[in-house]
Amino acid sequence: MNALVTLPPQSQLAVAPARFDAVSRAFHWISVALIVVLFASAWSLSLARDGEEAAQLLTLHRSLGVTIWVVALARLTWRLRFAVRPPLPRSLPAAQRLAAAVTEGALYVLMLVQPITGLVQSLARGKPFQLFIFEAPRVMARDKPLVSLFHEIHEATAWLLLGLIGLHVAAALFHGLVRRDGVLRSMAPWPARSTRP
């Protein structure tokens, strides 16, 4: 006599939470790591023991600035053309959806604009400078007012970027700890765990 096998209702089957694709998650956490080191290197400049150490920190900062620009451009291209993006929860109010979209857009803009302001500042100094193991040549005469202007822009946009990152982290924690709606898990770097709805 054959035993009948019955499956549990669909609502009782283990369901993996919706997540961004692996490439999008990798881009996200690479960006996080780069931004942390960028801010750390910038703040460490004032603590440098001598000119040589300051020059090394500045080279690191400039080189990572170029890296974050390339990563941000690649990340945006992937997101617009290939990324798997889980939808936000239907219960999320329209105002929060708008805030999420605006914050995300502003983060992308700043990751692309911020390195350019730093590059213009470096070029306007009118002398060669190091990027990775290469030397960027002198391309213009020293323009002190331009250096000062782009230094102020670079610093102001850095604080704006930091503020938006804080807002982004606060929103992610709100979704993960208060709403518990899966938004935080969707970009988590660790493997997804099956859950029961």
- Average pLDDT over the chain reads 89
Q: pLDDT tens digits for 131-180? A: 998 999 999 999 999 999 999 999 999 999 999 999 999 999 999 999 99
Mean pLDDT of 69-85: 96
pLDDT at 10: 42
Nearest to residue 129, comparing CAs of 64, 70, 67, 59?
A: 59
Distance CA 36, CA 139 (A): 30
- pLDDT at 14 > cutoff 70: no
Structure confidence at residue 189 as a pLDDT band (50, 70, 90) = confident
Q: Domain ranges for the chain, please list them.
A: 18-182
Structure confidence at residue 97 as a pLDDT band (50, 70, 90) = very high
Contact 165, 107 (CB under 8 A): yes
pLDDT at 6: 46
Which CATH class, in words, describes the domain spanning 18-182?
Answer: mainly alpha
Distance CA 17, CA 65 (A): 34
Contact 133, 115 (CB under 8 A): no
Distance CA 33, CA 78 (A): 19
Task: State percent of the chain over pLDDT 70.
Answer: 88
Q: Which two tokens stand for residue 111?
A: 């990751």
Structure confidence at residue 7 as a pLDDT band (50, 70, 90) = very low
DSSP assignment, residue 129? E
Distance CA 132, CA 135 (A): 8
pTM (2 decimals)? 0.85
